[in-house]
A and B are shown apart, each in its own frame.
Chain A
Amino acid sequence: MSLLSVEDLTVEIGGRRVVDGVSFDVAERGRLGVIGESGSGKTMTALAIVGLAPDAATVSGRVRLDGSDLLGRDDRGYAVLRGSRIAVVFQDPRTALNPVMRVGRQISEPLRLHRGLRRRDAAAAAVDLCDRVELPDPERIARAYPHQLSGGQRQRVGIAMALACRPELLIADEPTTALDVTVQAEVMALLSQLVVEDGTALLFISHDLALVSGVVDDVLVMRDGGIVERGPVAAVTADPGHTYTRQLLDAARRTSLPAEEEVG
């Protein structure tokens, strides 16, 4: 049985079907990439899975984690899972962290919440996590505020927060898109390594097919809310079946500097 099973997932906002009948599975320790342009519904799919779709959205279909249903849950039912069994790394490091709270405290939060750690122990664990995500001088960083860190550092913090409780599934929503190109590669490598070490399943969302090819085993290509192609990443990259996939590949190859300027 697969770890995550998504069946006919549909998300409607304001009359529009942003995600239209999407189905896929992620195996335990599996790594799946979801590729598409902005507006393809890839991010919304991920958000819907963890119950973080906007309030105005209507979500239907079936999502199961290790056999148990997710979609019917209320906020509290989801909160138990989030951070402990499924975690998310978001795209924009500038806004994803609470600007008035120290970084170490934000990292230790899931540990205190789900693992019942006391403040002191959680704080020590947070420093260890900073070290694990290869942040220099982890003790100083843990005491710092987000605005004192660079974009790449903040994203590492995001990864540390997500992996704090060793979740079964990690959803990464374009984690490197907002970073500088040089930093991108480092963060990608870090993510890849940690996921393998912990045996975490990975759902990696991106617009760049070439970027994910080193990190995932299989890939889905989404467009206008639906899946247009799927398969092992090597096969799809080498010989895309659908013209759209081909276009995506070409576009990615042409602009070899896809990331926006890193800010912060």
Chain B
Amino acid sequence: MTLYVVRRLGLLLLAIVVTSIVVFLLLRLLPGDLAKVIGGTQATPEQIEAIRKELGLDEPLVRQYLDWVGGILHGDFGVSALNGETVTSQLGEKLTVTAPLVIVSTVLSIIVAVPLGIIAGARHRRADGVSLSAVSQLGIAVPTFWAGQILIVVFAVSWGLLPSGGFPREGWDDPGRAAQSLILPAVTLAVSQGAVLLRFVRSATLDVLHQDYIRTARAKGLTRTQALYRHGLRNASLPIISILGVQIASLIAGVVVIERVFNLPGVGQMLVRDIGARDLEKVQGTVLLLAIVVLVIGFLVDVLHRVVDPRLRVAA
């Protein structure tokens, strides 16, 4: 088992390295000379050249890449060329908005979607199962941002219960208002993610229900429900764990969009703005960080799988 973890860790590191290369190269695709942007429209060619030298943009690509990686290994994810702040400090600030949003919506979606998905699968021939399935079908077809807009219209505009967007300037120093402004975004995100999760749980449950060992369990005297819960769920939890890992990528996409809808000063909003402003250093660092989070979660999911599934545990 430890051998597996070590090997998998090695693969993780390799993946991170490859990702960093991909991210680095990808961003070099961006047209728009950063030096010109900083220099401004009045800058002379010599001044632009000087800026370029200062930023190290005239060095060969490989050198630039190595410099960047070297910095990262020291915990320095780069400095924004436009406003001089470090990536890490800015991220820290934005995370106070994004992290609670992500955590709350994920927990919410799991609490709602997993039980409903199991019901939808177990009762897939009955009316409630079918209607649950139909509702989830609708749920995945609704774009996240539109759902957000609808919720704004209902809760903020019509009923005036919750703010239609924005985050208090004092941040969490005003916890009441901060929490309030995260309610609608979290619910929207939870609904979006939940609909997808529900479908996966439903199909995992359906798969399990068709297995022979469920029939054996019933032949021993378990009712359908008992067989499902005592034998099926254990097996269904395996693909469900995988799904949760995969969902992280779509969660990131959802966050970016939601932060725009609700005007939240989070990581997503920062990213979109930086890409538009061609702030290479920052975008590089942020995207790499996000990718690392995704990869690490993938790694954890794999290990968890190994722990939970006895078939994988015993084999070398």
- A: residues with CB less than 8 A from B are 50, 52, 55, 75-76, 79-84, 87-88, 90, 92, 95-101, 109-110, 113-114, 145, 147-148, 158, 161-162
Contact = CB atoms under 8 A, between A and B. Distances in A.
A80 B311 contact: no
Contact of A161 (B125, B218, B220, B226): B220
B262 to A, nearest CB: 42
A75 B212 CA distance: 17
A100 B235 contact: yes
Interface in B85-143: 125
B67 interface: no
A97 B214 CA distance: 9
B219 A83 contact: yes
A80 B221 contact: yes
B215 A110 contact: no
Interface of B: 125, 211-213, 215-224, 226, 231, 234-235, 238, 308-311, 314
Lowest 6 CB-CB distances: which A-B pairs, in order? A83-B221, A95-B212, A83-B220, A88-B219, A98-B213, A110-B220
Contacts of B308: 100
Scoring A50, A81, A98, A101 by chain B CB atoms within 10 A of each residue's CB, the highest score goes to A98
28 contacts: A52-B218, A55-B125, A75-B223, A76-B223, A79-B222, A79-B226, A80-B221, A82-B218, A82-B219, A83-B221, A88-B216, A90-B212, A90-B215, A90-B216, A90-B219, A95-B212, A96-B216, A97-B216, A98-B213, A98-B231, A100-B238, A100-B308, A100-B311, A113-B220, A113-B221, A147-B314, A161-B220, A162-B219
A145 B310 contact: yes
B213 A87 contact: no
A96 B215 CA distance: 8
B219 A75 contact: no
B221 A114 contact: yes
A87 B223 contact: no
Nearest to B125: A55
Contacts of B212: 90, 92, 95-96
Scoring B217, B235, B238, B314 by chain A CB atoms within 10 A of each residue's CB, the highest score goes to B217
Nearest to A83: B221
Contacts of A95: 211-213
Contacts of A148: 314
Given A147-B311, A148-B314, A99 B213 contact: yes
A96 B308 CA distance: 20
Contacts of B309: 100
B310 A100 contact: yes
B231 A52 contact: no
Scoring B212, B221, B223, B314 by chain A CB atoms within 10 A of each residue's CB, the highest score goes to B221
A15 to B, nearest CB: 18
B9 to A, nearest CB: 25
B172 to A, nearest CB: 43
Contacts of A76: 223
Given A95-B212, A100-B310, A82 B220 contact: yes
B230 to A, nearest CB: 8
A26 B221 CA distance: 22
B219 A87 contact: yes
B310 A75 contact: no
B314 A99 contact: no
A113 B308 CA distance: 26
A142 to B, nearest CB: 14
Given A55-B125, A95-B211, A98-B231, A145 B311 contact: yes
Nearest to B220: A83
A99 B310 contact: yes
A79 to B, nearest CB: 5
A151 to B, nearest CB: 14
B216 A110 contact: no
Nearest to A107: B220
Nearest to B214: A98
A185 B51 CA distance: 86
A64 to B, nearest CB: 19
Nearest to A56: B125
A148 B220 CA distance: 22
Contacts of B314: 145, 147-148
B218 A96 contact: no
A153 to B, nearest CB: 15
Given A90-B219, A101-B231, A145-B311, 6 more contacts: A83-B221, A87-B219, A95-B212, A98-B234, A100-B309, A100-B311
B234 A79 contact: no
A159 B226 CA distance: 22
Contacts of B231: 98, 101
Contacts of A52: 215, 218-219
Given A90-B212, A145-B314, A147-B311, A98 B222 contact: no
Contacts of A88: 216, 219
A79 B314 CA distance: 34
A101 B216 CA distance: 13
